């Protein structure tokens, strides 16, 4: 097989490394995310048997729909499925509709209305850009002044272009974060091993969110009972929603979770593998990923099992001043 990977970041390098291990793959090529018409021309001229879409941008632009219309095998959700990530408002509405627990929230498309609401809020709280922001459109605010600045950056200064025209202001949840990467063919959904990433740019949880500065797998704080709740109350309910909405979804699905003392909540969906989590998770996968992806495209995922090494993997992409604080306490047991 010849495999084309769209994207050229850490996630895509990890995908390439894993895909090249498959005995069915003769050639694997990564290309930057370009306009979907250019990528279609590359796939057609190169005679690729399978295209794997790494980043969210091309998925949101409808690259899967375009490739399928030309008879190409492509791994990823349709443009309708990509809305679970490209609009946090749509994702919240989806979660509410299908009984998936998420933080209470309000939606605003007016700067003055949103700041007026802030004056009535208890802090800390979380402000999120509605659209895509490369994993950086989330701000935890501890004071009104911080919240007002975040709203100005998103809605007035257009820090993330049109992504901040609409924002979510939601309740801050206290607990630990967990990342669950899954794969679904629209009929079945199966989880990968758990992971935990570190997003904040500075030590002592002081910095802004980044796209991810490091990750460890499996998540050392996630218990078997946590996983059982996730699979029953979140993962399966999400698949049920995808089916009820008749969404064409053959690809990866990432769940960003907050585990509190009381329950597990969904912070966000990603419609692709997370970066840097992929760099920590895939080295632990024993299964042939290409075989699993092909089974997913053929809606035969139920006939595939996922096997994992009994080890721990840590990926530190970058950090300021040594280990990120989240890793500090347990670094000997994790690395």
What pLDDT is recorded for position 214? Answer: 83
Tokens matching residue 174 = 């206290």
The 10s digit of each residue's pLDDT in 130-179 is: 998 877 788 999 999 999 999 999 999 898 888 889 999 999 999 999 99
**Domain stops at, among 130, 152, 171:** 171
Domain of 154, CATH number, reads: 3.30.1490.20
What is the number of domains present in the chain? 3
Task: Give CA separation, 140 vs 90, 137, 157, 186, 282, in Å.
Answer: 21, 10, 18, 34, 30
| 130 lies in some domain | yes
pLDDT computed for residue 132 by the predictor: 87
- Residues 169-215 have pLDDT tens digits of 999 999 999 999 999 999 999 999 999 988 777 776 667 766 667 89
pLDDT, residue 198, reads: 80
Q: Are residues 261 and 180 in the same domain?
A: yes
Report the pLDDT averaged over residues 235-255: 98
Question: Given this model, what pLDDT does residue 320 score?
Answer: 37
Mean pLDDT of 231-254: 98
Contact 272, 52 (CB under 8 A): no
CATH number at residue 189: 3.30.470.20
pLDDT, mean of residues 241-255: 98
Q: Evaluate whether residue 98 is within a structural domain.
A: no
User: Does residue 83 lie in a domain region?
Assistant: no
Tell me: do 263 and 324 sit in the same domain: yes
Same domain, 158 and 179: no
Residue 177, C-beta contacts closer than 8 angstroms, at least 6 positions apart: 196, 197, 256, 257, 258, 259, 267
Domain end among 121, 143, 171: 171
Q: Is residue 231 part of a domain?
A: yes
**Residue 210 sits in the same domain as residue 297:** yes
Q: Take residue 53 and report the two structure tokens written for it.
A: 């879409």
Residue 267 belongs to what H/E stretch? strand 264-270
Task: Report pLDDT digits (tens) over 271-320.
Answer: 999 989 999 999 999 999 999 999 999 999 999 999 999 988 887 664 43
User: In the chain, what is the straight-line distance between the N-terminal and C-terminal CA atoms, in Å?
Assistant: 35
298: domain range? 175-334
pLDDT at 333: 31
DSSP string, 47-86: T-SEEEE-SHHHHHTTHHHHHHHTT--EES--HHHHHHHH
Q: Are 206 and 126 part of one and the same domain? A: no
pTM of the model as a whole:
0.90
324 pLDDT higher than 60: no
Residue 5 has pLDDT above 70, yes or no: yes
Q: Is residue 62 part of a domain?
A: yes
Residue 206 within any structural domain of the chain: yes
């Amino acid at each position: 097989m010849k495999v084309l990977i769209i994207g050229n970041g850490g996630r895509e390098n990890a995908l390439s490394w894993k895909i090249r291990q498959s005995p069915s793959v003769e050639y694997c090529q990564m290309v930057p995310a370009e306009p979907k018409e250019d990528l279609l021309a590359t796939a057609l001229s190169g005679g690729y048997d399978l295209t794997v879409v790494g980043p969210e941008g091309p998925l949101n632009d409808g690259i899967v729909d375009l490739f399928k219309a030309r008879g190409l095998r492509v791994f990823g959700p349709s443009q309708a499925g990509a809305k679970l990530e490209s609009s946090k408002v749509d994702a919240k509405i989806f979660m509410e509709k299908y009984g998936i627990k998420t933080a209470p929230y309000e939606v605003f498309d007016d700067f003055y209305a949103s700041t007026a609401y802030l004056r009535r809020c208890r802090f800390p709280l979380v402000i999120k850009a509605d659209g895509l922001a490369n994993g950086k459109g989330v701000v935890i605010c501890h004071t009104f002044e911080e919240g007002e600045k975040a709203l100005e950056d998103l809605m007035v200064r257009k820090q993330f272009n049109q992504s901040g025209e609409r924002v979510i202001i939601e309740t801050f949840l206290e607990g630990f974060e967990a990342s669950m990467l899954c794969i679904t063919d629209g009929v079945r959904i199966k989880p990968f091993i758990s992971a935990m990433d570190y997003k904040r740019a500075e030590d002592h949880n002081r910095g802004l969110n980044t796209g991810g500065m490091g990750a460890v797998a499996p998540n050392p704080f996630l218990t078997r009972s946590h996983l059982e709740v996730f699979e029953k109350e979140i993962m399966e309910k999400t698949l049920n929603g995808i089916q009820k909405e008749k969404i064409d979804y053959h690809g990866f699905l990432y769940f960003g979770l907050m585990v509190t003392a009381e329950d597990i909540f969904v912070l966000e969906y990603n419609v692709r593998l997370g970066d840097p989590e992929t760099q920590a998770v895939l080295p632990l996968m024993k299964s042939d990923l290409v075989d699993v992806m092909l089974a997913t495209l053929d809606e035969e995922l139920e006939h595939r099992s996922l096997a994992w090494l009994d080890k721990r993997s840590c990926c530190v992409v970058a950090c300021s001043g040594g280990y990120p604080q989240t890793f500090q306490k347990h670094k000997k047991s994790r690395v």
